Amino acid sequence: MSLTVLEHPLARHLVTLLRDRSTEPEAFREAARRLATLLVLEASIDLPLEERPVETPLETAVGHRIAAPLVAVAVLRAGLGLLDTVVDLLPGARVGYVGVQRDEETATPREYYTKLPELEGARVFVLEPMLATGGSLSWACHQVREAGGRDVTALCVVSAPEGAARMARDHPDVRIVSATHDRKLDANFYILPGLGDMGDRLFGTR
């Protein structure tokens, strides 16, 4: 498992907006969409390309196109906050969903929905904004593996050391791209300093 943490000034600015408890859902969603752009750019920096000719208004030039099929897998609900940006930037990507809910007492994931497209040979981006204990992301990556996905990158807004350690144990070949890496989990398995429950803050629920 490799962990890449964004160092871009815009990422730090946007993470601060997301952390701020006074940021309302509309502004929170917009900041998440903008931050997702930076995450996608970092996560896709090594996509394979193939050459193709292109006719400019003046002559034929050598162009390029992405050579691998792409899949985005949103971990419900919070992963939806990143999904629109991913498909905007990678319009050819197929989309899958995995639904998992955390048991608030044990912090273990409980599955309630899985729907995945063809994954064989694809670059798969798993969208899990909060990497806390690592249980949900590990479970999601396991579902992707079972369905044939091999080249997997996780996009996270906030990660914690405990979750990164879990992913290193369970999925050592999954790359993680995170906007920030926080201090630790509290007694209730929430990330500190974190930004609260991302799903609730995206959708204005409690």
CATH of the domain at 180: 3.40.50.2020
Asked whether residue 57 is domain-assigned, the answer is: no
Q: What percent of the chain has pLDDT over 90?
A: 90
123: domain range?
Answer: 2-48+67-203
pLDDT of residue 138: 96
Model pLDDT for residues 68-97, shown as the tens digit of each residue: 999 999 999 999 999 999 999 999 999 999
- pLDDT of 145 over the 70 cut: yes
Asked whether residue 156 is domain-assigned, the answer is: yes
Asked whether residue 119 is domain-assigned, the answer is: yes
Asked whether residue 53 is domain-assigned, the answer is: no
Name the domain count of the chain: 1
Tokens of 14: 């946007």
- 3-state helix/strand/coil string of the chain: CEEEECCCHHHHHHHHHHHCCCCCHHHHHHHHHHHHHHHHHHHCCCCCEEEEEEECCCCEEEEEEECCCEEEEEEECCCHHHHHHHHHHCCCCEEEEEEEEECCCCCCEEEEEEECCCCCCCEEEEECCEECCCHHHHHHHHHHHHCCCCEEEEEEEEECHHHHHHHHHHCCCCEEEEEEECCEECCCCCEECCCCCHHHHHHCCC
Model pLDDT for residues 51-63, shown as the tens digit of each residue: 999 999 999 999 9
Asked whether residue 56 is domain-assigned, the answer is: no
Mean pLDDT of 21-35: 97
pLDDT-based confidence at residue 100 (cuts at 50, 70, 90) = confident
pLDDT of residue 105: 66
Q: Which of 23, 102, 151, 170 is catalytic?
A: 102
- Predicted TM-score (pTM) of the model is 0.93
Asked whether residue 153 is domain-assigned, the answer is: yes
Asked whether residue 73 is domain-assigned, the answer is: yes
Mean pLDDT of 107-113: 76
Q: Which of 20, 46, 106, 169 is catalytic?
A: 106
- pLDDT of 107 over the 70 cut: no
Asked whether residue 168 is domain-assigned, the answer is: yes
What b/e sequence results for 26-38 when a residue is b if at least 16 CB atoms lie within 10 Å of its CB, and e otherwise?
eebbebbbebbbb
Q: Which of 84, 151, 170, 197 is catalytic?
A: 197
pLDDT of residue 112: 86
- pLDDT of 179 over the 80 cut: yes
102 in active site: yes
- pLDDT of 113 over the 80 cut: yes
103 in active site: no
pLDDT of residue 101: 76
12 in active site: no
182 in active site: no
